[in-house]
Amino acid sequence: MKQVLAIYPGSFDPVTNGHLDLIERGSKLFDRLVVAVLQNLEKDPLFSVPERVEMLREVTRPWANVEVDVFDGLLVEYARRRKAQALLRGIRAISDYEYELQMAMMNRKMEPNIETVFMMPSVKYSYLSSRLVREVARLHGPLKDLVPPLVEERIRAKVT
């Protein structure tokens, strides 16, 4: 029987409880799920790629079928190399949908054999983004329930 591998790409700077919600749910839908950290040289990240990978590996430990990896370049090229059948993407709002639809259609044009699966976040995470977490952290606001405790600790160490 064919094993279905999905890739959940993102910057994960930092990983939030919303990301973990999708990872947990995605781990139940797919035989294997690769959380793929994008190396984007154009962004000014709070955490380096190795720091993000380390945190992701720690917080995804409960799911045996979840792996953390790093990629750069085109997502579909990475997905081809990994022999993935699906891309997992989260959609919080209509603005996300418009962007994600364009990306999914472009990915389909480049690689028709890889499906994009959209998941809505749990209601309690529907507003949550890494950008907002970084902003709250820089203003020394509360991060409880936004990120895992390990991530909060690392964020506080960075912004203090």
Active site residues: 19, 43, 92, 130
What does the block give as tokens for 48?
Answer: 């380096």
d(CA 26, CA 49): 22
* DSSP H or E segment with residue 131: helix 130-138
DSSP notation for 14-58? T--HHHHHHHHHHHHHSSEEEEEEE--TTS--SS-HHHHHHHHHH
Radius of gyration for the chain, computed over Cα atoms and rounded to the nearest angstrom? 15
| Nearest Cα to Cα of residue 7 among 90, 60, 81, 84 | 84
